[in-house]
Amino acid sequence: MDRLDITGIACQCHIGVPDAERKSKQKILIDVEAETQLEGAGRSDNLDFSIDYHALEEIIRALAEEGERKLLERLAEEVADATLQFDNRITCVRIATHKSPKVMPKTERVTVRIERKR
């Protein structure tokens, strides 16, 4: 199976367990790996045979930046669901959500990784 990766989607999100952490937006990075068949696109040079990754990136960013969440895990699940719904040719997604927690100033980054299949 082929794979399409979108790495480092930068979003501004209200996220964190303490109420104070959710008050102001934080930069969250999202990585998406989507398994799909890409041979037709490669042979034809036709977007109809691929995944429109520009449109997918816009959907993911809009989703991430709306509302608020306590957990990166919740955001990862929502992104996985949206990615699988975006195109039924995507058979498996791997999502990574990254943040530098305001409440952990001596920690560079926390990452949550999930995998979901159709």
> pLDDT by residue (tens digit) across 5-28?
999 999 999 999 999 999 999 999
Give 52-97 pLDDT, tens digit per residue.
999 999 999 999 999 999 999 999 999 999 999 999 999 999 999 9
pLDDT of 111 reads: 98
pTM, two decimals, is 0.95
pLDDT of 36 reads: 97
Query: Cα separation of 49 and 43, whole Å?
Result: 9
Q: How confident is the model at residue 113 (pLDDT cuts 50, 70, 90)?
A: very high
Strand partners, 117: 92
Asked whether residue 103 carries a pLDDT value surpassing 90, the answer given is no
Which residue has tokens 């816009």?
58
- Domains assigned to the chain: 2-117 (3.30.1130.10)
Asked whether residue 101 carries a pLDDT value surpassing 90, the answer given is no
Q: Compute the half-sphere exposure of residue 104: CA atoms within 13 Å on the CB side of its CA.
A: 9
Q: How confident is the model at residue 102 (pLDDT cuts 50, 70, 90)?
A: confident
* Dihedral sign from CA coordinates of 35, 37, 38, 41: negative
